[in-house]
Amino acid sequence: MTRYLPSASPARRGRDGAGRLDRDTIRRLPKVLLHDHLDGGVRPATLLDLAAASGYSGLAATDPGALQDWFAAPAASTEEHLRRFEPILELLQDRAALTRVAAECAQDLAADGVVYAEVKIAPEQHTRQGLTREQVVDAVLEGLRVGTARARLFGRSTDVRLLLTALRQAADSLEIADLAVRYRHRGVVGFDIAGPEAGYPPTRHISACEYIKRENFNLTLHAGEGFGLSSIWEAIQWCGADRLGQGVRIIDDIALSDEEPAEGDPAGAAVRTAKLGQLAAYIRDKRIPLELCPTSNLTTGAVARLADHPVDVLRRLRFRVTVNTDNRLLNRTSMTGEFARLADTFGYGVDTLSWFTVNAMKSAFIGHDERLALIDHVIKPGYAAVRADHAGAAFFRREDPW
């Protein structure tokens, strides 16, 4: 049984930093992103350009703002959410388009303060007009190189790696896993399985997962969003996932209850208790990272309100929680947006956002030395500088005590 204080009231927001965080301050913070789909983050204006160049007429609007609104409208289910990818996929079927959107992805992440990212792509979804899977991967990797180089010209440094995704409903996961391994020294850092969970358990792809583990490579599986604990259990115990993509439904294996405030407690603070089931305890004890995507969970209906999202409970219970965007276009979000919403809802300050970021960097699919270098020389100094600036600004804003 674990006892902890529930989230702070709005009056105590920003308690682990000095005052409330605004978006400009959050944008300055170095951030790490582990769960982001390339095709789910395309700029609306780019989609319109690609449609005009190819004669495609399947977009829902001709104005970038209206098109963004259509993609970000609430979905009735994860499956409906996934169907909105179709017009995007129709426009990402040639090398030039893939290279362009990958370059823009790297630039957009750099502009948002993301210093390290792992972006996902399912190669088989981009072969309708004759590209091979290898050509798809080559085009995206070239775009990421171009985008990071352009970002450096403007003084913004980011490192964007690629995850190759197989689809649960398809039957070529072993081929995608082999492709990921072949590109492991050219910018691909791992293998992922995504797609609808209901009816497509991860064990359908156990051969691909076993191959990845035999090759000493990295594996993350989408599990625990559209389906519950059994999906998470299979991803971890049968498939051997190193990280859980989403994983929000692990909260179903945690029993929560409230205790009365302690007698004589002047603050009258209620204390919450949490009893972890065997699966939740295993994931916490083994430090298996959760790639939580709060805004995405709202969009797909996995949670009704951000205030109800398990991210805060899981953080307080010290799971290896990371915060991610999932699909920046479809969720109308960014890492700055995710952190800002969490700060507003749960009262997070600089220290908590730093904790999420270090968690993510520890969980990245790059070498130990590279992870430490980014933590010690980029992330920690970046947060320390913002923390000092923010504390100083708060000091000069306070009321004169005399």
Average pLDDT of the segment spanning 314-331: 98
What are the phi and psi torsion angles at 165 (to 5°)?
-110, 130
Q: Which residues pair with 290 in a beta bridge?
A: 244, 321
Amino acid at 223: A
225 is catalytic: yes
- Contacts of residue 285, defined as CB under 8 A and 6 or more positions apart, other chains included, come to none
Half-sphere exposure of 323 (CA within 13 A, CB side): 29
- Contacts of residue 364, defined as CB under 8 A and 6 or more positions apart, other chains included, come to 32, 34, 116, 118, 189, 371
pTM of this structure: 0.93
Integer Cα distance of 162 and 165 in angstroms: 10
Confidence of residue 394 (pLDDT cuts 50, 70, 90): low
176-196 residue pLDDT tens? 999 999 999 999 999 999 988
Average pLDDT of the segment spanning 207-226: 96
Q: What single string gives the DSSP state of each residue in 276-335?
A: E-HHHHHHHHTT--EEE-HHHHHHHTSSS-GGG-THHHHHHTT--EEE--B-TTTTT--H
Q: Where are the beta strands (DSSP E) in 153-268?
A: 159-167, 188-194, 219-223, 243-246, 254-259
Strands 219-223 and 243-246 come out as: parallel
The pLDDT value recorded for residue 264 is 61
115 three-state secondary structure: strand
**Better pLDDT: 331 or 78:** 331
Q: Quick one: which of 108, 100, 24, 104 has its CA closest to 325?
A: 108
| Domains present along the chain, CATH in parentheses | 2-397 (3.20.20.140)
Q: Quick one: which of 128, 117, 287, 293 has its CA closest to 194?
A: 293
Which of 66-86 are b and which e, b meaning 16 or more Cβ less than 10 Å from the residue's Cβ?
Answer: ebbeebbeebeebeebbebbe
Range of weakest confidence among 11-15, 150-154, 271-275: 11-15
Integer Cα distance of 345 and 260 in angstroms: 24
Query: Which among 104, 124, 225, 338 is annotated as catalytic?
Result: 225
Average pLDDT of the segment spanning 103-120: 98
347-373 residue pLDDT tens? 999 999 999 999 999 999 999 999 999
Q: Quick one: which of 103, 104, 181, 185 has its CA closest to 145?
A: 103
Integer Cα distance of 363 and 32 in angstroms: 10
